């Protein structure tokens, strides 16, 4: 089968495919900056915390129960359990579960289509556990995945297709590298990720269904599967990017090149991603942080609320105003600025419990939402479109007595656009895990993950997270 792949190598490769293959093959742990290594550790800790927070969510339970019907003792672990399934199924379940609570990281960069690099982390772990690699190889694969997904986000113009597609590609490359694929095999893995997997943004628009979280799991699973196919000797379609019916022509809508990649003095893109500190979308998180400055208040006394946002968030709001004003699911509510601001004003902040039925169908909360106006502030748009990105939002509350209460975000250490300290990430992790795992166990896990680069076999990690 390898001979077949070798014979087809020249036909299979176009310039983008070759650029990605060469970069992945040539990237090694010693090439990573200390900042990138530390950033990878932080995101491993943060993503595990999000996964535990999402473990009991309905789409996560559905994914877990389905996968449990197809056990594979030689595969990879469904995190939170002792069950092992095929690596691609484990990728699907674990990525879905980590994505569900909307506590992941986010990539906002001027003119990019954004995305969530941490969506690739659990699929990469499934491949790493299955291959029994060490912590350094796992870290290298994580940095590689962030680099690929973020660089594609920067050059990709078509918002009709979801950024989860970049996670599929990034995962295929990262898992392919972990499994030691040859350059020819890795090239085929790239092709088998790109050609058959092009998810529509419809997965995240309108009255959003529970598949919103599963979209990331689906992308991760497809990426792992592409790497497994290539490892088994499957040949991918020729010229996946630049062919006549290829990705550039029909998905991206333009031809492009990847002229800059991290390493050799160029900072790695993982450093440009930001970790969310509230259970909501990026735009909603900034609105929550601003509203917290004046919350909680007696919502019966509120006459009017104005939320000033940057254009990217405002356009998302304009595209689905009715859904944002009348969310009927948790998945829509955590992207709704009127909903999350109303909850914050009522309760003081947003937590995972903010999306239960008691909140979602609270008549007083619904009445307050109708008093909330979302507008664009050109100053805030300008701040969002420069480097470093600033996600400024202002919430102004006018009470029945005429009092004006103003809260603004866009410069504090707690803001979405601010890099998070180790202490902030640890506190977030503890808040999401200690109630179900206990302090002593969480301390042991944190010690292991902080020393991930010293771990000889990442298969030691999943058993630490079993929820009895």
Measured in whole angstroms, the distance separating CA 55 from the mean position of its chain's CA atoms is 16
The helix-helix angle for 183-194 and 164-178 (nearest 10°) equals 160
Give yes or no: residues 174 and 302 share one domain: no
CATH classification of the domain holding 204: 1.10.4100.10
In a domain, 414, yes or no: no
Q: What is the sign of the dihedral through the CA atoms of 396, 399, 404 and 406?
A: negative
Percent of all residues in the chain with a pLDDT value above 70, rounded to a whole number: 97
State which H helix or E strand residue 22 sits in.
Answer: helix 15-26
* Residues 115 and 233 reside in one and the same domain: yes
What is the radius of gyration, based on Cα positions, of the chain?
Answer: 22
| Claim to verify: residue 265 and residue 193 sit in the same structural domain | yes
Q: Are residues 48 and 152 in the same domain?
A: yes
CB neighbourhood size of 96 (10 A)? 31
Relative to beta strand 105-106, strand 404-409 is unpaired
Helix (H, G, I), strand (E, B) or coil at 346: helix
For helices 311-319 and 282-291, give the axis angle rounded to 10 degrees.
Answer: 110
Question: Are residues 296 and 245 part of one domain?
Answer: no
Local structure of residue 412 (DSSP, 8 states): S
Residue 160 pLDDT level (bands cut at 50, 70, 90)? confident
293's tokens: 């400055």
Please indicate, yes or no, if residue 468 is contained in any of the structural domains: no
Residue 438 lies in a domain: no
* Confidence at residue 46, expressed as pLDDT on a 0 to 100 scale: 98
Question: Do residues 58 and 142 both lie within one domain?
Answer: yes
Q: Report the range of poorest mean pLDDT among 19-33, 311-325, 440-454.
A: 311-325
User: What pLDDT does residue 1 have?
Assistant: 45
Would 466 be classed as within a structural domain?
no
Supply the pLDDT for residue 414. Answer: 82
Q: Mean pLDDT of all residues in the chain?
A: 94
**Residue 206: its pLDDT value, please?**
72
Query: Are 394 and 374 a contacting pair, CB within 8 Å?
Result: no
DSSP 397: E
In a domain, residue 415? The reply is no
Asked whether the beta carbons of 91 and 127 are under 8 A apart, the reply is yes
Helix residue ranges per DSSP H, 100-210: 121-131, 135-155, 164-178, 183-194
| Same domain, residue pair 233 and 353 | no
Based on the fold, state whether residues 244 and 295 are members of the same structural domain: no
Residues 36 and 76 in one domain: yes
> DSSP label at 73?
E
* H helical segments located in 402-468: 422-437, 439-450
The CA distance from 63 to 425, in Å, is 27
pLDDT band at 365; cut points 50, 70, 90: very high
Helix pair 15-26, 164-178: axis angle to 10 deg:
50
Shared domain for 148 and 230, answered yes or no, is yes
Residues 186 and 305 in one domain: no
Both 269 and 324 in a single domain? Answer: no
Q: Cα–Cα–Cα angle for 405, 409, 411, nearest 5°?
A: 135
55-59, 76-80, 156-160, 414-418: which range is least confident on average?
156-160
Supply the pTM of this predicted model. Answer: 0.95
Q: What is the mean pLDDT of residues 72-91?
A: 98
Residue ending a domain, among 227, 246, 275, is: 275
Question: Quick one: pLDDT at residue 321?
Answer: 65
CB 324 within 8 A of CB 384: no
- CA torsion angle for 190, 193, 198, 202 (degrees, to 10)? -120
Q: Which of 231, 248, 275 is the last residue of a domain?
A: 275
pLDDT in tens, 103-119: 999 999 988 888 999 99
Say how far apart CA 131 and CA 291 lie, in whole Å.
46
> Would the pLDDT of 205 be above 80?
no
Distance of alpha carbon 342 from alpha carbon 19, whole angstroms: 48
Distance of CA 338 to the CA centre of its chain: 23
Weakest-pLDDT range from 146-160, 225-239, 319-333, 440-454: 319-333
Q: Rounded to whole angstroms, how far apart are CA atoms 340 and 280?
A: 8
Report the distance separating Cα 429 and Cα 48, nearest Å. Answer: 8
448 falls within a domain = no
Q: Helix, strand, or coil here: 376?
A: strand
Question: Mean pLDDT lowest for which of 218-227, 384-393, 450-459?
Answer: 384-393
Q: How many domains does the chain have?
A: 2
Give the count of beta carbons closer than 10 Å to the beta carbon of residue 468: 6
Could you give the angle at which helices 87-99 and 58-68 cross, rounded to 10 degrees?
Answer: 170
Rounded to an integer, what is the distance from CA 204 to the centroid of its chain? 13
Evaluate whether residue 259 is within a structural domain. Answer: yes
Crossing angle of helices 121-131 and 211-232, in 10° steps, is 30
Residue 5, pLDDT above cutoff 50: no
Check residue 190 and give its pLDDT.
98
DSSP 370: T
Ranges of H-type helices in 159-240: 164-178, 183-194, 211-232
CATH number assigned to the domain comprising residue 305: 3.30.1330.120
Residue at a domain's end among 381, 409, 437: 409
Is pLDDT at 290 greater than 60 in this prediction? yes
Q: What is the pLDDT of residue 259?
A: 86
- Residue 6 main-chain phi, psi, to 5 deg: -65, -40
- Map residue 468 onto helix, strand or coil: coil
Task: Answer whether residue 150 is part of any domain.
Answer: yes
Domain residue limits at 309: 282-409
Contact assessment for residue 349 and residue 301, using Cβ atoms and an 8 Å cutoff: no
Q: CA torsion angle for 64, 174, 41, 386 (degrees, to 10)?
A: -110
**Vertex 228 angle, CA 259 and 184, to 5°:** 45
Q: Which residue has the higher pLDDT, 10 or 290?
A: 290
d(CA 354, CA 344): 9
- Confidence band for 208, pLDDT divided at 50, 70 and 90: confident
């Amino acid at each position: 089968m390898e001979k077949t792949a070798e014979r087809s190598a020249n036909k299979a490769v176009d310039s983008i495919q070759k650029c990605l293959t060469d970069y992945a093959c040539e990237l090694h742990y010693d090439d990573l900056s200390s900042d990138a290594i530390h950033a990878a550790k932080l995101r491993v800790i943060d993503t595990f915390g999000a996964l535990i927070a999402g473990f009991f969510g309905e789409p996560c339970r559905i994914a877990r129960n389905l996968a449990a019907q197809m056990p594979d003792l030689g595969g990879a672990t469904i995190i939170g359990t002792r069950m092992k399934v095929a690596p691609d199924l484990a990728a699907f379940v674990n990525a879905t579960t980590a994505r569900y609570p909307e506590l992941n990281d986010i990539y906002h960069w001027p003119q990019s289509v954004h995305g969530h690099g941490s969506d690739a982390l659990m699929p990469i772990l499934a491949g790493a556990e299955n291959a029994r690699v060490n912590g350094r190889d796992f870290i290298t694969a994580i940095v590689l995945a962030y680099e690929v997904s973020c660089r594609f986000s920067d050059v990709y113009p078509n918002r009709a297709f979801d950024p989860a597609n970049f996670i599929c590609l990034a995962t295929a490359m990262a898992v392919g590298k972990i499994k030691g694929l040859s350059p020819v095999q890795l090239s085929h893995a790239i092709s088998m990720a790109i050609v058959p997997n092009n998810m529509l943004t419809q997965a995240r628009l309108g009255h959003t269904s529970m598949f919103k979280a599963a979209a990331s799991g689906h992308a991760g699973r497809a990426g792992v599967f592409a790497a497994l196919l290539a490892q088994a000797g499957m040949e991918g379609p020729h010229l996946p990017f630049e062919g006549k019916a290829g990705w550039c022509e029909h998905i991206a809508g333009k031809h492009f090149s990847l002229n800059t990649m991290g390493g050799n003095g160029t900072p790695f893109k993982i450093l440009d991603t930001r970790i969310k500190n509230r259970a909501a979308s990026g735009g909603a998180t900034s609105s929550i942080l601003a509203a917290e400055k004046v919350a909680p208040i007696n919502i019966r006394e509120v006459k009017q609320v104005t939320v000033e946002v940057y254009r990217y968030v405002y356009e998302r709001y304009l595209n689905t105003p009715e859904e944002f004003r009348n969310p009927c699911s948790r998945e829509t509510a955590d992207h709704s600025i009127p909903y999350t601001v109303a909850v914050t004003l009522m309760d003081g902040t947003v937590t995972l419990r903010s999306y239960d039925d008691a909140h979602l169908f609270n008549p007083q909360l619904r009445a307050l939402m109708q008093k909330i106006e979302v507008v664009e502030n050109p100053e805030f748009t300008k701040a969002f479109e420069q480097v470093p990105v600033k996600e400024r939002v202002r919430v102004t509350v006018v009470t029945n007595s005429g009092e004006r209460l103003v809260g603004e975000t866009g410069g504090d250490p707690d803001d979405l656009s601010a890099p998070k300290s180790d202490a902030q990430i640890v506190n977030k992790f503890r808040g999401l895990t200690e109630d179900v795992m206990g302090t002593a166990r969480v301390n042991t896990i944190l010690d292991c993950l902080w020393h991930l680069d010293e771990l000889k076999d990442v298969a030691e990690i999943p058993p630490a997270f079993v929820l009895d």
